[in-house]
Chains A and B, each alone.
Chain A
Amino acid sequence: MAEKTILTVSDLIFEAQGKSILDKISFTLSDDETLAVIGPNGAGKTVLVKCLLGLLPYKGSVIWNKNVKVGYVPQKLYVEKNMPLTVAEFLAFKEKKLAKVEETLVKVGFGGRKNLLKDKLGVLSGGELQRVLIAYALLGEPNVLIFDEPTSGVDVVGEGTIYSLLHKLRAEKHLAIIFISHELHVVNQYADTVFCLNKEKVCYGVPHHAINEDVLTKLYGEKVSFYEHKHHDY
């Protein structure tokens, strides 16, 4: 299938209290592309995602193709430990058919987990909650998934599974994916393109070419050297 552009962002500007948070951001996304957005804390990554979702008022333009359905996976949920809301009830907000919910849970790696549907959201581990959130997004049959820092609050082992899950979903469902990250090894391994953000565009392109020492200095300051983690089997 030929690649098709489904998102065009041009000259996106976001200001809060007179301070520039995003300055003239432009990029495109094609229908099976995985785009990573990296940058230091306070670089405007979450703001960028919220502008893409139309949750914040911005200047410039964010144009989604017609018929594009966006699935959003937020960083976390506000659930207390004993909040009486089960996984089944939460997912039913999106899809009432139990069979489809169960099928989607298997897709996000809950095949062997018994009684998950009856568990309260508050007792799930960080990684489990993240996968439930991915399932919630998938139930809307999206063609784009947007992740806000998929690894925050998840241990390293869990982190590996979340990204390999993304990889698998992408292959199965013909999905475009945008994810925020701050880990270079993840970006190198899973993203087709990387957008380095520090209030403005610092780099944009194929990760191995786009990211170099110069770019990292601009992103994270002087002391960071170009260091790539070597991890095994995700």
Chain B
Amino acid sequence: MTTNFYFLLVIGALVGVVSGLLGSLMILKRMSLVGDALSHVALPGIAVALMVGINPMFGAFVALLVAVLGIWYLEKTSDIYPEALVGLFFTTSLAIGILITPEPELFEALFGSIEKISTLDGVVIVLSSLVIFTVIRLIWQKLILDVVSPDLARVGGIKMTRVNLLFLLMVGLAVALGVKFLGTLLTGALVIIPAIAARNISQNLSAYRVWSMVFGALSAVVGIVLGFWLTLPVGPLVVLVGVGLFFLTLLYRKL
């Protein structure tokens, strides 16, 4: 095993932790599909970045930023969350992305390419994760209060529009980090699956948060190890490990 392998394990675990943390909030906010849809938006961004020769992660983030602002605006201006519209918009961007992504890179853009993660990518992932942890720590309580009672949150003087924008920006950032690992088709899974597995076994909020992060890290680490061992693509294995954890927790709950 090379140093590179251990580097990938650490970076992978970090992406798993961050995704699990954000996923735990997205599940509570009943926006689990938004993560999935968002990851599709990354594709045209990656395509454009490849065409002009810049870091694809950066391209993904710019595309996600635009999408996040779009969602935030829709959420703010309409009473009912326009899920159908979001679905339409994101499938469109996936279709366009597939058309404009250069053929040789298409497979890895869709399913990830962990072996291509560079030291620079690693540094970006570490720094971005720190930003995400800090911001979520600040807005965690406000987000939960808004889930259980929007009125109580507002009476308490919380500016939810601002908090929600920050939250969505962090989701966009986390998805951009995950895209290189899992690709645009599978990144959503790393956000959602650890959190729903954690929910199966958690009796309180702090346990739920911790388990979401632990399952995120476990999925990533075990998936990477299996991928290198079996010489199979890492992305799908990470997702399948997560699914396995989900069924284990389901079993645990039934017992």
Contacts and interface: CB of A to CB of B under 8 A. Distances in A.
B204 A93 contact: no
A2 B230 CA distance: 82
Q: How large is the interface on A (under 10, 10 to 19, 20 to 34, 35 or more residues)?
A: 20 to 34
Contacts of A93: 141, 144-145
B48 interface: no
A118 B204 contact: yes
A67 interface: no
Contacts of B202: 84
B205 A89 contact: yes
Contact of B151 (A72, A79, A86): A72
A78 B151 contact: no
Rank and list the top 4 A-B pairs by shortest CB-CB distance, nearest first: A84-B208, A84-B202, A86-B204, A72-B155
Contact of A77 (B149, B154, B203): B149
Interface in A116-144: 118, 120-121, 136
B210 to A, nearest CB: 11
B152 A82 contact: no
Contacts, number: 51
B152 A83 contact: no
A120 B203 contact: yes
Interface residues of B, number: 19
Interface string A73-101: 01001110011111011100100000000
Contacts of A82: 199
Contacts of B206: 89
A152 to B, nearest CB: 15
Contacts of A77: 148-149
Contact of A89 (B28, B147, B149, B204): B204
Contacts of B28: 83
Interface in B56-74: none
A138 to B, nearest CB: 14
Nearest to B24: A84
Interface string A38-52: 000000000000100
B153 to A, nearest CB: 9
Contacts of B154: 53, 55
Given A78-B147, A93-B141, A93-B144, A84 B152 contact: no
A86 B208 CA distance: 11
Contacts of B149: 74, 77-78
A123 B151 CA distance: 21
Contacts of A79: 148
A90 B153 CA distance: 12
B95 interface: no
A111 B28 CA distance: 31
A83 to B, nearest CB: 7
